[in-house]
A and B are shown apart, each in its own frame.
Chain A
Amino acid sequence: MKILIIEDELDLLQEIKEFLEKEGFVCETAHDYLSADEKIWIYHYDIAIVDITLPGGSGLQLIEKLKQIHPDTGILIVSAKNSLHDKLTGLDIGADDYITKPFHLAELNSRIKSVLRRRKFEGAPVIVFNEIIVQPEDGSVKVNNTKLILTKKEYELLIFFIANKNRLLTKESIAEHLWGDNIDLADNFDFIYTHINNLRKKISKCSGNNYIQTVYGMGYKFTDL
């Protein structure tokens, strides 16, 4: 999988690149409008991560070009502006998703995978992790071929975990993934704990393995045993 990261902050660019390379992606980077423009003309990418404010031009223009040259490239907008207008414009001209700074890398990863699923499997995406099979199309989950009845948040949690397997997920990133960043819940970490416990119980009821490890004080890790 080839990803183009267009971001003018070199530190952030480097960090995203390292992170995604660990996830097994092949990454190319561009730090301004011109170099990004050049790259999208020459190469073909599965996903482009585009920052809207770039030196030399607007990310939105890049997206329009990209849509013309390679319509099958998945596009994820990264913006410092949490503006509904920008978001709608971005999605209108063909971006697949929109994520605002500051974001968690795990969140970015999960969004990228979701975009990839939607793009690659053309409506028949299936997420498989050992005995766990998720069909995002209808939201059904099976463990050892037994159907699992999950609440909405438990389902989202499971998808988030699988997308970020073998990584430590902080409680903060989980909370933001589940409830967005606009929620100011004082005790949301307790809620996460309850959700995770319920998820564990439900999976083990279908004789699935307990993949969710608690990392004390930090968060949780979803690992293959």
Chain B
Amino acid sequence: MKLLNKINIRYFLFSVTLLILLGIAINFVLFYIISEELDEKLLHIQKRITAQIKNENQVPVIKPYIEVVEVADRQEQSYFSDTIIENLHEKEMEEFRQLISIKTINGKTFKIIVRESKLESDELFESIALIIFLTFIVLVFILFVVNSRIAKSVWLPFYNNLKRVKKFSLNDLSPLHLKPTGIKEFNELNKVIFSLTEKVISDYKSIKQFSENASHEIQTPLTIISAKLESLINGNGLNTEQLEKVKSIYSSVHRLSRLNKSLLLLTKIENKQFRDDEEISIRKVIEEKLIEFQELISLKNLQLETNLNEDISKVMSPLLADFLVNNLISNSINHNKEKGKIKIEIKERQLSISNSGDTLLSNSGNIFNRFYKENPSSKSVGLGLAIVKKICDTHNIKITYSFKENMHCFMLDL
């Protein structure tokens, strides 16, 4: 759940609870005040009636509001009570508040009942309650809106920076400089993120540097081993059995050095050590490569089909363009079948290179992985397509693999 929503919901729930509690409290207070007011009014009327009887000896009666009855001598007292009386005009039962008091005036004992309809005070109570309630709701609503507006604007820099953090990639090799927000906590967070990314990047760089240096350092001993083995093979001092063994060592060393070179290349592409400094005509690279591969293609009796009427120009390192096309074409030769087909096509900034094949790959998702081999006994190093993928990734080229109509197809959006 979004932080803002969470805050809003909390706020809303709190407001509603508060509103209900306040409503109940106000209800009681109002009710009490209004009843009190009514009782006072009744008492006041009762006093005036008493005074009137005393001074003018007049007994006013306005039914059902004022009733005065002479009663037998009794202890003076007065009390309030609620009652229901039928309204004479409207024939409806109506609630009344009444003050019944027994008073002895001028030697006579009267029972004075003063009544006031509760209808009016109920109406008053209702309208006051309504006004207060509505004011509350409007207030809560306004606060709610203002609060979410403020929260939104306060959190905006946070969300903007979050977007940038999400886009962070180690390959950019630059630590995250987030925009200052003017809020202390956010600025602190930005600082932490900056130093964190800086550290991650420097660690990443040093690991990359290490693997590159290691690969470099391996080259020289490999050269020495290979040179010594070559001279052993060329010398006459070995018998057949020893020669076999030397040959086997030699092949392994050779394999190791090819592997090392490929890994070095991958690391270098990752380290962005190739400058994208030339406008490359992809068509030209393909044409050059096809001349180079021409003999291999005819040796394998492959049928080559090209559609290179369009051209794609791409700014990249010429060496990488060469590797890209080279590896894709050699892959299509390597994994072709006897008398198969190779199809190379450029169409609307899309390059597709496909070759015949009988079966769907068992793990086509792994095809670009390092050291992945569809056929484990293959002598290939298994880095060709990983290099292709790496070049594509570092140059914003989308590469997809598909198998359609018995053709393995690599599609590049350049």
| A interface residues, Cβ below 8 angstroms from B | 9, 11-12, 15-16, 18-19, 80-84, 100-106, 151-153, 167-168, 170, 172-173, 181-187, 191, 194-195, 217-218
Q: How far is the CA of A137 from the CA of B317 in the complex (A)?
A: 31
State whether B247 touches A104 (Cβ < 8 A): no
Q: How far is the CA of A46 from the CA of B250 in the complex (A)?
A: 32
Q: How far is the CA of A207 from the CA of B381 in the complex (A)?
A: 41
With A100-B219, A187-B379 known, 17 other A-B pairs at CB within 8 A are A11-B228, A12-B223, A15-B227, A15-B231, A80-B216, A80-B219, A82-B265, A84-B317, A102-B226, A102-B257, A151-B295, A170-B230, A170-B250, A172-B251, A182-B326, A185-B296, A186-B334
Within the complex, what minimum Cβ distance (angstroms) separates A193 from chain B?
A: 10
Measured between beta carbons, the chain B residues less than 8 angstroms from A183 are 326, 330
7 contacts between A and B (CB under 8 A): A15-B227, A15-B231, A82-B264, A84-B274, A100-B219, A168-B234, A218-B247
Within the complex, what minimum Cβ distance (angstroms) separates B289 from chain A?
A: 11
Measured between beta carbons, the chain B residues less than 8 angstroms from A194 are 299
Flag whether B378 is at the interface (Cβ < 8 A): yes
Within the complex, what minimum Cβ distance (angstroms) separates B275 from chain A?
A: 8
Within the complex, what minimum Cβ distance (angstroms) separates B260 from chain A?
A: 8
Partner of B230, one of A105, A181, A185: A105
State whether A101 touches B222 (Cβ < 8 A): yes
Within the complex, what minimum Cβ distance (angstroms) separates A80 from chain B?
A: 4
Within the complex, what minimum Cβ distance (angstroms) separates B188 from chain A?
A: 43
State whether A19 touches B231 (Cβ < 8 A): yes
Within the complex, what minimum Cβ distance (angstroms) separates A182 from chain B?
A: 7
Partner of B258, one of A11, A105, A173, A184: A184
Flag whether B384 is at the interface (Cβ < 8 A): yes
Within the complex, what minimum Cβ distance (angstroms) separates B264 from chain A?
A: 7
Measured between beta carbons, the chain A residues less than 8 angstroms from B31 are none
Q: How far is the CA of A182 from the CA of B334 in the complex (A)?
A: 14
Partner of A105, one of B216, B231, B261: B231
Measured between beta carbons, the chain A residues less than 8 angstroms from B295 are 151-153, 191, 195
Q: How far is the CA of A101 from the CA of B330 in the complex (A)?
A: 23
State whether A217 touches B247 (Cβ < 8 A): yes
Measured between beta carbons, the chain B residues less than 8 angstroms from A187 are 334, 379
Measured between beta carbons, the chain B residues less than 8 angstroms from A83 are 273
State whether A101 touches B380 (Cβ < 8 A): no
Q: Which of B214-230 contact A (CB under 8 A)?
A: 216-217, 219-220, 222-224, 226-228, 230
Measured between beta carbons, the chain A residues less than 8 angstroms from B80 are none
State whether B224 touches A184 (Cβ < 8 A): no
Flag whether B333 is at the interface (Cβ < 8 A): yes
Chain B residue with Cβ nearest A81: B216
| B interface residues, Cβ below 8 angstroms from A | 216-217, 219-220, 222-224, 226-228, 230-231, 233-234, 243-244, 247, 250-251, 254, 257-258, 261-262, 264-265, 273-274, 295-296, 299, 317-319, 323, 326-327, 330, 333-334, 378-381, 383-384
Q: How far is the CA of A218 from the CA of B220 in the complex (A)?
A: 24
- Across the A-B interface, the 7 shortest Cβ-Cβ residue pairs: A102-B223, A15-B227, A102-B222, A101-B219, A80-B219, A172-B254, A101-B223
Knowing A82-B264, A102-B222, A168-B233, the reply to whether A16 touches B227 (Cβ < 8 A) is yes
State whether A80 touches B381 (Cβ < 8 A): no
Q: How far is the CA of A173 from the CA of B234 in the complex (A)?
A: 13
Partner of A15, one of B228, B317, B319: B228
Measured between beta carbons, the chain A residues less than 8 angstroms from B317 are 84
Measured between beta carbons, the chain A residues less than 8 angstroms from B243 are 218
State whether B224 touches A172 (Cβ < 8 A): no
Partner of A181, one of B223, B261, B379: B261
State whether B230 touches A106 (Cβ < 8 A): yes
Chain A residue with Cβ nearest B215: A80
Chain B residue with Cβ nearest A151: B295
Knowing A80-B216, A217-B247, the reply to whether A167 touches B222 (Cβ < 8 A) is no
State whether B254 touches A103 (Cβ < 8 A): no
Measured between beta carbons, the chain A residues less than 8 angstroms from B261 are 82, 181-182
Partner of B233, one of A80, A182, A218: A218
Measured between beta carbons, the chain B residues less than 8 angstroms from A182 are 261-262, 265, 323, 326
Partner of A103, one of B223, B244, B323: B223
Q: How far is the CA of A173 from the CA of B228 in the complex (A)?
A: 14
Q: How far is the CA of A218 from the CA of B251 in the complex (A)?
A: 10
Within the complex, what minimum Cβ distance (angstroms) separates A218 from chain B?
A: 6
Measured between beta carbons, the chain A residues less than 8 angstroms from B265 are 82, 182
State whether A191 touches B299 (Cβ < 8 A): yes
Q: How far is the CA of A194 from the CA of B274 in the complex (A)?
A: 36
Q: How far is the CA of A168 from the CA of B247 in the complex (A)?
A: 12
Measured between beta carbons, the chain A residues less than 8 angstroms from B384 are 184
Chain A residue with Cβ nearest B226: A102
Q: How far is the CA of A15 from the CA of B221 in the complex (A)?
A: 12
Q: How far is the CA of A105 from the CA of B226 in the complex (A)?
A: 9
Within the complex, what minimum Cβ distance (angstroms) separates B373 from chain A?
A: 10
Q: How far is the CA of A168 from the CA of B265 in the complex (A)?
A: 30
Measured between beta carbons, the chain B residues less than 8 angstroms from A151 are 295
Within the complex, what minimum Cβ distance (angstroms) separates B411 from chain A?
A: 21
Within the complex, what minimum Cβ distance (angstroms) separates B225 from chain A?
A: 8
Q: How far is the CA of A218 from the CA of B257 in the complex (A)?
A: 18
Q: How far is the CA of A187 from the CA of B265 in the complex (A)?
A: 22
Measured between beta carbons, the chain B residues less than 8 angstroms from A172 are 250-251, 254
Measured between beta carbons, the chain A residues less than 8 angstroms from B330 are 183-185
State whether A185 touches B333 (Cβ < 8 A): yes
Q: How far is the CA of A170 from the CA of B246 in the complex (A)?
A: 12
